Amino acid sequence: GGGGGSGGGDGGGSISRSSVGADRAERPVWVHAVHEDRWISFSESSWWCQGKANVGDAKGWLHLPCVSCFTPPGSRQAWRVWDGRAWSAQPSIRCFSRTDAELDEALTPPPALLLEGGRKLHPEAAACLGWYNLVHESPPPSPAVGGGGAGGGAGGGAAGIHKQVNARPVWKHATHEDRYLAFDGVAWLAQERVNLGRADGWLELFDAGCVSPDQSRQVWNASDGKDGWPAQPTITCRRPTDAEVTAEAVAASLLAEEEEASARSARRKAAKKGKKKRGGGAEQPPPPPAPEPAAVPAAAASSSEALAEPDAVCGGSGSGSGGGAGAEAPVPAPGAYVLLHSLVGRPDLNSRRGLVLSYDAKKSRVGVRVDGEAKPLALRVANLEPMPPGPGESGETT
């Protein structure tokens, strides 16, 4: 069937698979190919489009008054539609028969779809336009290029087992990998993968009666990024022609070749760089300069005060002078005087004297006020050697 205005509900473009039996008036009965609760049967001088529970009764949403026709396509009368209050004639609704080949083609999802048009779209909605490929659970045995036949374009048949969401096929955008065409149970949506099959997307088409969105005559709506869904009558969804399928295949092949050439170039550059490093002949860049020691805050009476960690001023081995290999130097107590030695980053501090202020056991650092330095430094125990205080020095911290 086809046609119909807003009163036609989801009947626009719907298909009924051959008769499945006969009613009590000995007329054939058809069941909807998508909606299993929609049937066409004869009762009381009319053909009815109705629910399964009403088959054979004079109840339904559409009816065709015609006593003489054995099947609905044989009638020249106008279908009537119930709008909730009264019946109104809908001459644009037509019922016609199809061959098995035509029916199989109509019920087979096309391997590719083109979503085009639209005006003043939100950027996310605009990203949903373009070429979509049918998603397969198992890959088709041969490419779909040129498989549409005359007039059929890419819709001549989709090989392999295609993926379904809410009992309908799914298409994936050819360039935007996060854009899909899927059915949410009520409408077709152009949406992100995370919302696949749910009522959340950027473009929507309310037509539950079509097997694929290209069969619909309804108008697409587009999200404005807020709460609005203005109609977009210029948006169309169609099956690409054979020429477009071929052109897309050529473009995809060229893009794949460019990507492969770029990957080969990157691998060659990486290999050359690795050879230079292994050869050792190339001049190596100088090492970065050592950072200057960080100053610590003013001395505090508590030993738990946080101090900076100037690793660059500390020796590398971790063993103090005079200590045996592997032996740990004792931690000087606050108020003790120490002699600095074996400093790498600040060799100018070696042989200077300092006053111990605190010790941070967690960081293994000693806070030392060094002679000639404005602020205390955080040093390793291994770089400090205990020494007695000078004349008149009490050894108490302040």
Residue 46 phi, psi (nearest 5): -140, 150
Please state the separation of Cα 163 from the chain's center in Å: 18
Question: Strands 112-116 and 365-370, how do they pair?
Answer: unpaired
pLDDT at position 149, please? 40
pLDDT at position 275, please? 73
Q: What is the largest CA-CA distance in the chain?
A: 131
Average pLDDT value for residue range 187-198? 92
- In this structure, what token pair is assigned to residue 201? 């997307």
Question: How would residue 230 be classed by pLDDT, with cut points 50, 70 and 90?
Answer: very high
Query: Of 106, 64, 103, 89, whose CA–CA distance to 4 is shortest?
Result: 89
66 against 251, higher pLDDT: 66
Question: How would residue 160 be classed by pLDDT, with cut points 50, 70 and 90?
Answer: low
- pLDDT over 70 at 187, yes or no: yes
pLDDT at position 114, please? 93
Question: How would residue 325 be classed by pLDDT, with cut points 50, 70 and 90?
Answer: very low
pLDDT at position 242, please? 81
Task: Tell whether the torsion through CA atoms of 155, 157, 162 and 164 is positive or negative.
Answer: positive
pLDDT at position 271, please? 83
370 residue type, one letter: V
pLDDT at position 128, please? 93
Question: How would residue 346 be classed by pLDDT, with cut points 50, 70 and 90?
Answer: confident
Considering 195-209, 244-258, 380-394, the range whose residues carry the highest mean pLDDT is 195-209
Return all residues near 185 (Cβ < 8 A) that are at least 6 apart.
166, 197, 199, 208
* CA 66 – CA 48 distance, rounded (Å): 11
Residue 294 phi, psi (nearest 5): -85, 140
- pLDDT over 80 at 106, yes or no: no
pLDDT digits (tens, 9 = 90+) for 6-65: 334 444 455 554 444 444 457 889 888 777 888 999 988 899 999 989 888 888 989 999
Average pLDDT, the chain: 76
Question: How would residue 279 be classed by pLDDT, with cut points 50, 70 and 90?
Answer: low
pLDDT at position 214, please? 92
Kindly state the helix (H) or strand (E) to which residue 129 belongs, with its residue range: none
Question: How would residue 189 be classed by pLDDT, with cut points 50, 70 and 90?
Answer: very high
pLDDT at position 283, please? 53
177 against 286, higher pLDDT: 177
* CA 17 – CA 32 distance, rounded (Å): 6
Buried b (16+ CB within 10 A) or exposed e, 113-122: bbbeebeebb
Query: Considering the chain, what percentage of its residues have pLDDT values greater than 90?
Result: 24
Question: How would residue 138 be classed by pLDDT, with cut points 50, 70 and 90?
Answer: low
Q: Is 332 helix (H, G, I), strand (E, B) or coil?
A: coil
pLDDT at position 12, please? 46
Query: Of 25, 5, 13, whose CA–CA distance to 83 is shortest?
Result: 5
Q: What is the 3-state secondary structure (H, E, C) of 130-143?
A: EEEEECECCCCCCC
157 against 227, higher pLDDT: 227
